[in-house]
Amino acid sequence: MEVVHSEYVPDPDRTHEEMAELQRDLVADAVFADDVDFAPADVALDDPPEDRTPEAGQQTLSAGPAEAYDPEGPPVVVGIDQAFVDDEEAVSAAVAIQDGAVVERAVGRRPLEIPYIPGLLAFREGGAIVDALQNLSVPGDLLVLDGSGRIHFRQAGIATHVGVVFDTPAIGVAKSLLCGEPRESLDQYFEAGERVAIEADDEVEAPTGDVIGYAFQSRQYPNPEKRHVNPLIVSPGHRVDEETAVDFVEALCAGYKLPEPTRLADRDVGRLK
DNA sequence: GCGACAG
DNA sequence: ATCTTGTCGC
């Protein structure tokens, strides 16, 4: 894939104030509304068989060699995840999926220049992600990032940042809430499929009360009282609205908490260490 | 100053 | 994110 807005490529070599300013600039080019030429149903994965037990295995997508990419085929969804090597290098893995099969895997690396700072994650891990996506030869139609998108102090989470840099539809999938106010307490158990809107509060640079994302329960155990799963925090990155972002994530989940593209990238980056 | 904070 | 074996529940 190729960078479209090079002026927004995250550069660790600048002050925190300049980073925040770059985020405000790129948000002006971010689109939190649908601008995608395909629907969640077009990339939906098969529902998991009911009889799946750990022993039977839940492998939904092949972990083996990539299948052939079809330029005329269904949309390509790219899952991306990061890991760190000795706290000195960020490694990013991108896995491209088309028609339920892996068509390509790419890796990106970048030295870790700055520490983790809430709100400035893209400047720590973004370089490796951009590197991985540039190493991806097939054009991704939808990017699924681990982290927030619009659910961010300046509405410029890592999913928004990367989505705008490549001007490609993107979604942020986080495991915990960075900011914003859930309409309903998340300190309770939800059933698979439930969604709780996250609204902007006074620490988000958006009209207070605006829905900026959702807590989405992708899966749940039979008896949450004994064993439960926490909801995913989904927010639009670029060119998708809040509801559509969740619809895509739901379509991409195949029996596990995380959407399949993310799981595969997770696994890739894990064995790369 | 206090509190809150993706990965 | 990362350090890490066994252990509980499905």
A66 found inside a domain: no
A58 found inside a domain: no
Chain segment A226-266, per-residue pLDDT in tens: 999 999 999 999 999 999 999 999 999 999 999 999 999 99
A103 found inside a domain: yes
A121 touches strand B (CB under 7 A): yes
Return the pLDDT at A245: 98
A71 found inside a domain: no
A148 found inside a domain: yes
Tokens of A101: 């099969």
Domain that holds residue A191: 6-48+76-272
Nucleotide B4's nearest residue (CA vs C1') is A179
A53 found inside a domain: no
A68 found inside a domain: no
List bases in chain B with any atom under 7 Å of a protein Cβ.
Answer: 3-7
Return the pLDDT at A272: 85
Q: How many structural domains compose chain A?
A: 1
Residues sharing a CB contact under 8 Å with residue A143, sequence separation 6 or more, in sequence order = A77, A78, A80, A133, A159, A162, A163, A166, A168, A169, A170, A171, A237
Q: Whole-prediction pTM value?
A: 0.94
Q: How many Å is the maximal CA-CA distance in chain A?
A: 53
CATH of the domain at A247: 3.30.2170.10
Chain segment A201-226, per-residue pLDDT in tens: 999 999 999 999 999 999 999 999 89
List bases in chain C with any atom under 7 Å of a protein Cβ.
Answer: 1-2, 8-10
A30 found inside a domain: yes
Task: Count CB atoms within 10 A of the CB of residue A1.
Answer: 22
Instruction: Tell me whether residue A99 is annotated as binding.
Output: no
- Please identify every stretch of chain A with a pLDDT value under 50, giving residue numbers as ranges: 49-60, 62
Return the pLDDT at A52: 38
Provide the 8-state DSSP code for A273: -
